[in-house]
Amino acid sequence: MTVTAIKAFEDNYIWAYEVDGSVFLIDPGQADPALDYLRTSDQPLAGILLTHEHYDHVDGVPGLLETYPNTEVIGPAETKAFATTIIQAEDTFERLGKTFQVIPVPGHTKGHIAYLVDGKLFCGDALFMAGCGRVFTGDYSAQYETLKRLKALPDASEVYAGHEYTRTNLNFALSVEPNNAKLKEVLKDVEAKLAQGKPSLPSTIGLEKEINLFLQANTVEAFKALRDQRDNF
Ligand SMILES: [Zn+2]
């Protein structure tokens, strides 16, 4: 079983989760890069998972269904314009012989969910490497609780986020904690990966606990202050 990053738009990732030659795509915001990937890797599309309603995570679905009709599209209620199977937060479901756990991660959008399968967390815009999504709902306590929920996952959980924002996130973190040696070390590693055209992701929950200032915020107020600072960075 493997996970591959498919680049979309400027800095989105569509994740391809593959088990025994069957592919699940997570958050296909664009059809063309995903179709190219499926053609090149010569693997059938077995299903699509959506984390939240934003266009850059769902707009590729109709184009994919033109080529792969009747593909199951699983998503939360807020993606009902695209999803064929609406999933509830905290559900579990079986596909590809695997158990997918659905985790509610509201804050960025109201109905945002994440999927945990095989120790891999597909979290859309709820959590980024060294960052988190903007709180478009204005519900900072929901996003704060979301981060606490994610922080409680096993340290080895791999984090597959929806965007390549890591460099900017680390630079922001260093503007807050200029002497943080761990942040500097991770930024160096990330710069090397990006220079080779590789994604900085996946991260892990264990690493995020060390470098993600948003996960380290101990109160909703501290979290909101940090988020406001990042919004203006
Ligand atoms: Zn989003």
CA 27–ligand 1 middle distance (angstroms): 10
The domain ranges of the chain are 2-231
CA 37–ligand 1 middle distance (angstroms): 23
Local confidence band at 90 (pLDDT 50, 70, 90 cut-offs): confident
For the purposes of burial, counting CB atoms within 10 Å of the CB of 64, is it exposed (0-12), middle (13-18) or buried (19 or more)?
A: buried
pLDDT for 44 equals 87
pLDDT in tens, 10-45: 999 999 999 999 999 999 999 999 999 999 998 889
CA 41–ligand 1 middle distance (angstroms): 28
Give the mean pLDDT of 57-82. 97
Topology given in CATH for the domain delimited by 2-231: Metallo-beta-lactamase; Chain A (3.60.15)
How far is it, in rounded angstroms, from Cα 20 to Cα 214? 37
In the annotated binding site for Zn(2+), the residues are 52, 54, 56-57, 108, 125, 163
Local confidence band at 9 (pLDDT 50, 70, 90 cut-offs): very high
CA 198–ligand 1 middle distance (angstroms): 22
How far is it, in rounded angstroms, from Cα 27 to Cα 11? 13
CA 60–ligand 1 middle distance (angstroms): 14
CA 33–ligand 1 middle distance (angstroms): 19
pLDDT for 126 equals 98
CA 108–ligand 1 middle distance (angstroms): 7
Q: Please report, rounded to a whole number, the percentage of residues in the chain having pLDDT higher than 90.
A: 97
Are 69 and 84 in contact by the 8 Å Cβ rule? The answer is no
Q: Is the predicted pLDDT of residue 203 greater than 90, yes or no?
A: yes
pLDDT in tens, 146-199: 999 999 999 999 999 999 999 999 999 999 999 999 999 999 999 999 999 999
